[in-house]
């Protein structure tokens, strides 16, 4: 599934900020129908090259960059997505396709060698870069997300917290793969929209002393391995 580029803001906030925002957003925005009880758990496995190309480009603020990950939600391993996140001139784009558990495990193991023309183009691209650039699983990132939706502008606001790292464990589908908290990591407010951000949402997310940030869950978790 291909997506068009979207605008994105990130803010690092604290627990008190989140309580205020949660109340504001709930009053105006719609809940995500796919988020039971208003939140869901996300597990992602990120890929990088032997030289940590994706990590270094993020830390250096390279204008055009990309990274690959596979993820599932709420511990449900029956629905797994391969995603490529791309950034260019402040705009973000996310391309994705569905993987079977067998495909995902083979990718984790480095044994996925049956690419054919019938496979999704994104899977073919990942396999090609695993072959030519040495992309390999680098770290698991777990966190909790509370999403809010607003139809005008196709706005999505999320609150992300409880960020955890898998250390050196990359066994993505193994429920016994332990993750640990990433220390004193802030809560992350993310705002994404298409052509315009409605003024009502812009006003809702204003917090004194909070500014846009280049926070990366992947980069934070890579501190640990």
In a domain, 120, yes or no: yes
The CATH number of the domain holding residue 181 is: 3.20.100.30
41, 146 Cβ separation under 8 angstroms: no
Query: Is 103 part of any domain?
Result: yes
Report pLDDT for 213.
Answer: 80
Domain assignment of residue 65, given as a range: 6-224
How many Å apart are CA 143 and CA 122, to the nearest integer?
Answer: 25
Q: How far apart are CA 215 and CA 61, in angstroms?
A: 11
pLDDT of residue 27: 96
Model pLDDT, residue 42: 96
User: In order along the chain (225 residues), what is the average pLDDT of each group of 10 residues?
Assistant: 80 94 96 90 96 92 92 94 91 94 90 76 92 93 97 96 90 89 91 94 88 86 78
Which residues make Cβ contacts (< 8 Å) with residue 99, sequence separation at least 6? 70, 80, 81, 82, 107, 123
Total tally of structural domains belonging to the chain: 1
Q: Is residue 220 part of a domain?
A: yes
According to the model, what pLDDT value does residue 225 have? 61
Query: Is there a domain that residue 1 lies in?
Result: no
Sign of the CA dihedral running 121, 72, 87, 150: positive
CB 55 within 8 A of CB 74: no
- Backbone φ, ψ for residue 170 (5° rounding): -120, 15
* In the chain, beta strands by DSSP E: 6-13, 30-31, 40-48, 64-73, 80-88, 91-99, 136-150, 155-165, 180-181, 187-193
Residue 40 DSSP symbol: E
35 within a domain of the structure (yes/no): yes
pLDDT, residue 36, reads: 83
- pLDDT of res. 211: 75
Say if 148 falls within a structural domain: yes
Whether 159 is covered by a domain: the verdict is: yes
Write down the pLDDT at residue 183. Answer: 83
């Amino acid at each position: 599934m291909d997506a068009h580029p979207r605008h994105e803001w990130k803010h690092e906030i604290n627990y008190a900020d989140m309580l205020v925002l949660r109340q504001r957003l709930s009053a105006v925005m719609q809940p995500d129908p796919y988020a039971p009880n208003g939140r869901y758990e996300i597990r992602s496995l990120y890929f990088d090259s032997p030289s940590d190309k994706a990590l270094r480009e993020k830390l250096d603020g390279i204008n055009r960059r990309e990274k690959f990950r596979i993820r599932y939600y709420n511990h449900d391993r029956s629905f797994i997505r391969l995603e490529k996140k791309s950034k260019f001139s402040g705009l973000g784009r996310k391309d994705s396709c569905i993987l079977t558990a067998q495909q995902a495990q083979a990718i984790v193991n480095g044994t996925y060698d049956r690419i054919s023309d019938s496979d999704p183009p994104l899977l073919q691209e990942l396999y090609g870069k695993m072959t030519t650039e040495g992309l390999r699983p680098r770290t698991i990132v777990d966190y909790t997300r509370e999403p809010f939706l607003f139809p005008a502008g196709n706005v999505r606001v999320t609150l992300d917290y409880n960020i955890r790292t898998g250390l050196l464990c990359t066994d993505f589908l193994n429920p016994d793969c332990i993750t640990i908290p990433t220390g004193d990591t802030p809560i992350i407010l993310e705002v994404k929209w298409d052509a315009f951000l409605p003024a009502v949402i812009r006003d809702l997310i204003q917090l004194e002393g909070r500014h846009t940030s280049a926070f990366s869950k992947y980069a934070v978790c890579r501190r640990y391995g």
